[in-house]
């Protein structure tokens, strides 16, 4: 009843007649890991640049007084810092799972062993991370761009602060694009 399949050994030793081997993987794990690492570093850099932005002393509107402010004056920038740091931590966990959950990820086995169940759980966590990280990165980036546009006069009054805000915005955009590319290259079944 059983026939030995002549395909790769990872398909299992015995296959029933009519069963097909698992479909080939699409995507590239090393490329995905590289882009995940880059996205993690860019998100961390964006948050750190915003936190490190210097205090700005700018003339207040209509008065001869000088107003002093930092990134904390703008809620969207605080949101950006929190989301970027949270996304960095979550992405670091996903990077670890990608490296450790690699053992026979896509083997064809009719009965799941405990190790396979852990691998399956790790893949589920990775899917959740792939949904959660963009939910943090994209709104934070959008809020930072909109706040910088809306409060451009106040932010632009201090050239150093404006430059750091611009750098943080660009880094957050790069983190979003890089993470999107990492997910596009993630290995998955057809």
Q: 7-46, pLDDT tens digit by residue?
A: 454 444 445 555 665 554 556 778 888 999 999 999 999 9
Is residue 144 within 8 A of residue 80, CB to CB? The reply is yes
| DSSP bridge partners of 68 | 57
pLDDT number for residue 108: 45
pLDDT digits (tens, 9 = 90+) for 107-139: 445 445 655 666 677 778 888 888 899 999 999
Is residue 47 within 8 A of residue 81, CB to CB? The reply is yes
pLDDT number for residue 178: 95
Is residue 184 within 8 A of residue 26, CB to CB? The reply is no
62 backbone φψ class: left, alpha, beta (φ>0; ψ -120 to 50): left
Is residue 126 within 8 A of residue 98, CB to CB? The reply is yes
pLDDT number for residue 143: 93
Token pair listed for 166: 């611009």
pLDDT number for residue 184: 86
């Amino acid at each position: 009843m059983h026939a030995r399949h002549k395909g790769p050994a990872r398909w299992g030793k015995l296959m029933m007649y009519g069963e097909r081997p698992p479909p080939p993987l699409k995507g590239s794990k090393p490329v995905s890991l590289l882009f995940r690492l880059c996205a993690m570093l860019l998100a961390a850099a964006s948050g750190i640049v915003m936190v490190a932005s210097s205090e700005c002393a700018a003339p207040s509107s209509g008065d001869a007084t000088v107003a002093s402010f930092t990134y904390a004056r703008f809620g969207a920038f605080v949101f950006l810092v929190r989301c970027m740091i949270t996304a960095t931590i979550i992405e670091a966990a996903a990077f670890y799972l990608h490296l450790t959950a690699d053992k026979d990820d896509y083997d064809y086995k009719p009965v799941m062993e405990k190790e396979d169940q852990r691998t399956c759980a790790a893949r589920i966590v990775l899917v959740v991370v792939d949904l959660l990280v963009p939910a943090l990165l994209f709104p934070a980036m959008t809020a930072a761009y909109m706040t910088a546009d809306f409060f451009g006069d106040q932010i632009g009054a201090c050239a150093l602060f404006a430059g750091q805000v611009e750098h943080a915005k660009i880094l957050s955009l790069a983190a979003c694009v890089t993470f999107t590319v990492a997910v596009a290259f993630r290995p998955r079944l057809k």
